[in-house]
Amino acid sequence: MMKNKLTLVMLAALTFGMSSCQEQNQEPWKNLFDGKTLDGWHKKNGDAEYKVQNGEIVGKATLNTPNTFLCTDDTYADFILEVDFKADGDLNSGIQFRSHSFPEYENGRVHGYQCELDPTDRKWTGGIYDEARRGWLYPVDNNIEAQNAYKHLEWNKIRIEAIADTIKTFINGIPVAHLVDDMTDSGFIGLQVHGIGNNEKLDGVTLHWKNIRIITDNPRKYATQTSLPAISKYNELTHTEKAKGWKLLFDGKSSEGWRGAKLNDFPKGGWSIEDGVLTIHESGGGEAADAGDIVTVDKYKDFMLRVDFKITPGANSGIKYYVDTELNKGEGSSIGLEYQILDDELHPDAKLGSHDGSRTLGSVYDLIKAENKFPKPIGEWNNAMIISKGNHVEHWLNGRKMLEYERGSDDFRKLVSESKYKVWKDFGEFETGHILLQDHGNTVSFRNIKIKEL
């Protein structure tokens, strides 16, 4: 009897131990779709129809409407997402993630990372596309196993792992993409019905999603190990950028294409290039008083410029454009329009300027204050974009337009006449000029410097 009781106790303890272990190792999935309603989701951009049918979300292609997205109400940063997907025709689709829709970005156009769902003969399902921004980041043209993993007209399981700056995708358990990129660190998830224009052959094609679930609690613990080599997009042009004529201004390794603003060569000290990052180092806060500014060897007229920058506490710097290095051979910085880079909280310049707030982050220095800006914290990377076409100029920060103005207009000339630049004839109206990165005596870093001539 004693032996039987002891055996029962041991079995109970073993069962409890196994149960506890299973509970500890159970993946903490949360459902994003209840199988019955579209609660927690909302539609953006287009007029394609979404409905719930047989425990699925069904999207239907619709004539003459743009891309339509069914988006989560909540946003997500680091996560693992799994979705079952089926297409009943040859209409490509996608799963948006870390995506956004801002009024100041193309009137609310959805933009951000997309895991491609591609039932066409191209077979790029699982590739990573940057919707309404940089285009293809990770095409699937060289991964035959991944291309063949998709099962047309059948259910397929898509897995997306987005953890810090690393994104991995899988189709039916087969690794597809392994991308390193950090343009966006959080955002909503969306299901796309692609626009079809007036293509009547695709009218009414349906796309199906079900079993939509996500891990947000310590997703790194449940991440998949893969031998697929990672492709980094730091200081690299994307597949689409190459096709559209973008050019790197910094290769991540050398100072090629740059020189000192008042030198024939690149400065001997003060600037460093390390781990793909170009940095001007602390020298006491003076304007071009140590290593000095650097400028592109080439001059530019109409362009779209993108620059990642990272500042240290209290730092001051800037990105200048239409710079004429012949104008100021004395002390201080070379002369040109400036996209201000500044720690608005700690640097006194934020409270100075000829026009209220015109020396704050993203402003046209001393001329126009940047509004509606959403900088990332000090020590994190921000993305600046300057668009100049003819006389029209725009300043953007982290995907949002902050200001726009017309060079040479009466309003612009009035601002110049009231600023520190009034001593320079035709300031800001030069037809061409260099791009400049400023040495203002504080530690500031740059990377992903790209330009497209318009």
**What does the DSSP assignment read for 109-168?**
--EEEEEEE--STT--TT-EEEETTTEEEE--TT-HHHHTT--TTS-EEEEEEEETTEEE
pTM attached to this predicted model? 0.87
The angle at the Cα of 228, spanning 223 to 234, to the nearest 5 degrees, equals: 90
pLDDT tens digits along 228-247? 999 999 999 999 999 999 99
For residue 249, which of 204, 210, 306 has the smallest C-alpha distance?
A: 306
Task: Tell me the three state secondary structure of residue 382.
Answer: strand
Of 3-12, 309-318, 338-347, the least confident = 3-12
Structure tokens at 163: 């953890």
Mean pLDDT, residues 391-416 taken together: 97
The angle at the Cα of 135, spanning 380 to 193, to the nearest 5 degrees, equals: 110
Annotate 198-210 with DSSP letters as a single string: T-TTTTT-EEEEE
pLDDT bracket for residue 115 (50, 70, 90): very high
pLDDT bracket for residue 11 (50, 70, 90): very low
For residue 159, which of 364, 135, 278, 149 has the smallest C-alpha distance?
A: 149
pLDDT tens digits along 45-67? 999 999 999 999 999 999 999 99
User: Is a pLDDT exceeding 70 seen at residue 14?
Assistant: no
- Residues with Cβ within 8 Å of residue 274, at least 6 apart in sequence: none
152 to 74, 120, 176: CA distances (angstroms): 31, 9, 17
| b/e burial code for range 91-121 (CB count within 10 A of at least 16 → b) | bbbbbbbbbbbbeebeeebbbbbbbbbbbee
Which uninterrupted H or E stretch holds 111? strand 111-117
Provide φ and ψ at 243, rounded to 5°.
-65, -25
- Cα–Cα distance, 307 to 297 (Å, whole number): 17
For residue 202, which of 312, 363, 97, 65 has the smallest C-alpha distance?
A: 65
Structure tokens at 8: 């029962």
User: Is a pLDDT exceeding 60 seen at residue 2?
Assistant: no
- Residues with Cβ within 8 Å of residue 453, at least 6 apart in sequence: 245, 247, 300, 301, 302, 303
Instruction: Report the length, in residues, of the chain.
Output: 454
pLDDT bracket for residue 3 (50, 70, 90): very low
How many CB atoms within 10 Å of residue 404?
Answer: 13
Percent over 70 (pLDDT), the chain? 94
Mean pLDDT, residues 17-23 taken together: 43
Of 116-130, 205-219, 319-333, the least confident = 319-333
- Residue-averaged pLDDT of the chain: 93
- Cα–Cα distance, 60 to 424 (Å, whole number): 59
Give residue 236's identity as a one-letter amino acid code: E
- Asked if residue 449 lies in contact with residue 294, where contact means CB atoms within 8 angstroms, the answer is no
pLDDT tens digits along 176-226? 999 999 999 999 999 999 999 999 999 999 999 999 999 999 999 999 999
pLDDT bracket for residue 287 (50, 70, 90): confident
DSSP 8-state symbol, 200: T
Of 15-24, 105-114, 316-325, 436-445, the least confident = 15-24
User: Is a pLDDT exceeding 90 seen at residue 16?
Assistant: no
Rg of the chain over CA atoms, in angstroms? Answer: 26
DSSP 8-state symbol, 31: E
pLDDT tens digits along 104-113? 999 999 999 9
pLDDT of residue 6: 44
Paired with 316 in beta bridges are 342
- What own/partner pairs with CB < 8 Å and gap ≥ 24 does 349-355 have? 349/316, 354/415, 354/418, 354/419, 354/420, 355/415, 355/418, 355/419
For residue 247, which of 4, 448, 30, 15 has the smallest C-alpha distance?
A: 448
pLDDT of residue 306: 98
pLDDT tens digits along 289-324? 789 999 999 999 999 999 999 999 999 999 999 999
pLDDT tens digits along 244-281? 999 999 999 999 999 999 999 999 999 999 999 999 99
Task: Tell me the three state secondary structure of residue 76.
Answer: strand
User: Is a pLDDT exceeding 90 seen at residue 18?
Assistant: no
Structure tokens at 133: 């921004």
- Asked whether the CA dihedral 409, 411, 416, 417 is positive or negative, the reply is positive
Percent over 90 (pLDDT), the chain? 87
Tokens 């939509």 sit on residue: 212
Structure tokens at 65: 């409407």
- Cα–Cα distance, 394 to 382 (Å, whole number): 17
- Cα–Cα distance, 429 to 416 (Å, whole number): 11
Mean pLDDT, residues 7-33 taken together: 61
User: Is a pLDDT exceeding 60 seen at residue 9?
Assistant: no
For residue 375, which of 411, 348, 400, 403 has the smallest C-alpha distance?
A: 400
Q: What domains can you pick out in the chain, each with its CATH number?
A: 30-233 (2.60.120.560), 245-453 (2.60.120.560)
Mean pLDDT, residues 420-444 taken together: 95
